[in-house]
Amino acid sequence: MGDEIGRPVRYGDQAVRQGHGGETHQVAGDGRPSLTTQQGTIVGDDQNSLRIGERGPTALEDFHFREKIFHFDHERIPERVVHARGYGAHGFFETYAPLTELTKADLFQREGERTPAFVRFSTVAGSKGSTDLARDVRGFAVKLYTREGNWDLVGNNIPVFFIQDAIKFPDVIHAVKEEPDRGFPQAQSAHDNFWDFASLMPESTHMLMWIMSDRAIPRSFRFMEGFGVHTFRMVNAQGRSTFVKFHWKPKLGLQSVVWNEAVKISGADPDFHRRDLWDAIQQGNYPEWELCLQVFDDEFADRFRFDVLDPTKIIPEEELPVRRVGRLVLDRMVDNFFAETEQVAFCTQNIVPGIDFTNDPLLQGRNFSYLDTQLKRLGSPNFTHLPINAPKCPVASFQQDAHMTTVNPTTRANYEPNSWEPEIGGPREDPERGFHSYPAEEAGAKRRLRPESFADHYSQARQFYVSQTPVERQHIADAFVFELSKCDRVDIRSRMVAGLRNVDDELAVAVAAGLGLPELPDPLPAAREPIRDLPPSRALSILANGPDTFAGRKLGVLITDGADAALLAGLREAATREKTNVELVAPIVGGIQASDGTHIAADQKLDGGPSVLYDAVAILTTKDGAAELAAQPAARDFITDAYAHAKFVGYTDDATPLFAATGMHNMIDDGFVRLGANADNAGDFLARCRQLRFWQRQYPAFAAR
């Protein structure tokens, strides 16, 4: 225990540090540790500051009070300038098979190799306390603690970006964040400044299609993809380089909410996404993603219609299929949010031998920004010493000192070359195993320019749009109308519609009509004439790739006194078979008395558990119960929202008074499943829920596939 001196250890729920002999101060008889100052002095009274006289002034001499307040005053660190709101978890990456022919990266050399990982998901625009359901890009940042150093794959849930050159990043971020004079709106792109900028930057059009699509309102982090965005390189042991694009694909499939639902979830549970990840991991339902690669050579890059260095472009999967190379599993929450999720420092320049950059100008700019921002945020170049950031492989360097160092050279030599014997002389470079940049040939005049090969801003935006199902297209149009309606300036609305005319006229017309523009503006002049006939890519649609499973989703069951106990048990069993969670919502959280006389506790009080928190709902009540529910606005909202959001609804005939009170008794459609008709009925209901939404309710002709 002696070598543990000063190291933090867990003691019950408290983090305490051990003393010289590994001991903690004990409170006599109780067994719990004594409270101490940061200097280790046992605190005798933590309730009262030191006073002169019973009603007199506080003494400056009170070192415990001053240390406590001083530390508290400094608890906050600057929030991230972007991606401030995030949520992280630990896990591992497992390699399916060696990728020796592609890369010498150590983590890809052995089948079944498990590499520890930490992932932080985030929104971009809002501050730390903003709502999870903002319409926004989601960050998908992965730190892989490989045996040959940390590799940070700092991606998003959207495979393209707003801008082509990092020098425009401060502009796009200033434009989307709160307007500087008034300090709002928070976590929203729906305001003049964003759309002013976006409509003046045609290169953002492809990204706009993605953020106006359902991709920007994911159901949870567990149901979204991740993308490295840029083209990277993989380099093998022979020095051969292959281009690569990285994708993370969720095992549970993709799922999003609808906008009206997002707005309501933001009020009902602003932590909806972090609670979802927390619950899933605590329950042992570990979310999983597969790492997929699109690999290609120079010849493909030359032949591809667009520049592979342009981060506003994708390579459609139909043109270059993905190869599944491993899986990422998140199986452990952090012990402390601040120490890990807040202090984790992702840097795009953290790569390992076998991985390398390309000249994507966004990536090149990011490689400066991330290191720089960590110094600002964490206050010292020694942020690499923090446990969440420290590599799990050996580290040996001559870097020393600075604020808050915990690791310094311990021998006499702190420079290199030196002529001291190895124990004193310290580490040396290793030309054999060390990192060498891929020796790409570079030449050309030094100029500020945008390459001609980046000039097509609309073709892939159109391709994305035409690849969507009709429901998804409608959502995109609705999102544009919503967002642009929040712009005060009509010329900004109109300029954006002019840009959309280069994407698709059906969309431009729908948005113009939704905004009530007096006339359809002429298309914006395009730097290059858009290609109108790029083939649709089915992989770009969420609904065309429905997961056909209800696993990992949540059923909300509204219950009242007298609810059919056997039916509830049947629903629970069916849900367990389907790997679905059930949450019970009742008029009071204390619960109800079921039909068999048993008492059943609820998880949520009715107005704390609106149906927007669930993927499907069921109503188990009696005629009297339904009449009581019908009198409560929260119960009426529960069912009308479920209906409006195209959810499947399980019900018994006794629920009719509630339906009647909402005017819905004539609207019962195939998305409503009558429960209790036979023994397997609950199973049938859950099986229907695998479609996730009954879109035919809103779009009678809907067919996903």
- List contacts with ligand HDE (CB under 6 A): 80-83, 86, 120, 122, 139, 141, 154-156, 161, 166, 169, 229, 311, 344, 346, 362, 365-366, 369-370, 373
- Alpha-carbon span 652 to 607, nearest angstrom: 22
Q: Return the number of the residue (96 or 370) whose C-beta is nearest ligand HDE.
A: 370
- Alpha-carbon span 250 to 215, nearest angstrom: 13
Active site residue 156: yes
Q: Return the number of the residue (540 or 675) whose C-beta is nearest ligand HDE.
A: 540
Q: Return the number of the residue (154 or 258) whose C-beta is nearest ligand HDE.
A: 154
> What are the tokens at 572?
């629970």
Backbone angles phi, psi at 61, to 5 degrees: -65, -15
Q: Return the number of the residue (117 or 682) whose C-beta is nearest ligand HDE.
A: 117
Q: Return the number of the residue (229 or 292) whose C-beta is nearest ligand HDE.
A: 229
Q: Which residues, at least 6 apart from 62, have a Cβ–Cβ distance to it below 8 Å?
A: 49, 50
Min dist. Cβ of residue 309 to ligand HDE (A)? 13
> What are the tokens at 307?
């520049």
Closest to 126 (Cα-Cα) out of 90, 80, 159: 80
Min dist. Cβ of residue 169 to ligand HDE (A)? 4
Instruction: Give me the count of residues in the chain.
Output: 705
DSSP symbols for 168-181: GHHHHHHHHS-BTT
Q: Return the number of the residue (86 or 287) whose C-beta is nearest ligand HDE.
A: 86
- Chain residue whose CB lies nearest ligand HDE: 139
Q: Return the number of the residue (81 or 660) whose C-beta is nearest ligand HDE.
A: 81
Asked whether the beta carbons of 146 and 346 are under 8 A apart, the reply is no
Min dist. Cβ of residue 207 to ligand HDE (A)? 10
- Alpha-carbon span 345 to 330, nearest angstrom: 18
CA dihedral 309, 313, 317, 318 (to 10 degrees): -110
Min dist. Cβ of residue 332 to ligand HDE (A)? 17
Residue 74 sits at the vertex; the CA angle it makes with 70 and 76, to the nearest 5 degrees, is 155
Catalytic residue among 83, 230, 273, 645: 83
Min dist. Cβ of residue 173 to ligand HDE (A)? 8
Q: Return the number of the residue (365 or 683) whose C-beta is nearest ligand HDE.
A: 365
Min dist. Cβ of residue 346 to ligand HDE (A)? 4
- Alpha-carbon span 469 to 544, nearest angstrom: 7
Residue 556 sits at the vertex; the CA angle it makes with 551 and 557, to the nearest 5 degrees, is 125
Min dist. Cβ of residue 528 to ligand HDE (A)? 22
Catalytic residue among 64, 90, 150, 156: 156
Q: Would you say the C-alpha torsion 150, 155, 161, 162 has a positive or negative sign?
A: negative
User: What are the CA-CA distances from residue 571 to residues 276, 557, 584, 620 (Å)?
Assistant: 21, 9, 11, 10
Scanning the structure block, which residue is given the tokens 């801003």?
457
Min dist. Cβ of residue 161 to ligand HDE (A)? 4
Asked whether the beta carbons of 625 and 670 are under 8 A apart, the reply is no
> What are the tokens at 507?
């969309």
Q: Would you say the C-alpha torsion 650, 213, 288, 369 has a positive or negative sign?
A: negative
> What are the tokens at 703?
């067919």
Q: Return the number of the residue (261 or 340) whose C-beta is nearest ligand HDE.
A: 340
> What are the tokens at 9?
């250890």
Min dist. Cβ of residue 276 to ligand HDE (A)? 17
- Alpha-carbon span 255 to 472, nearest angstrom: 12
- Alpha-carbon span 375 to 491, nearest angstrom: 41
> What are the tokens at 47?
């309730």
Residues labelled catalytic = 83, 156
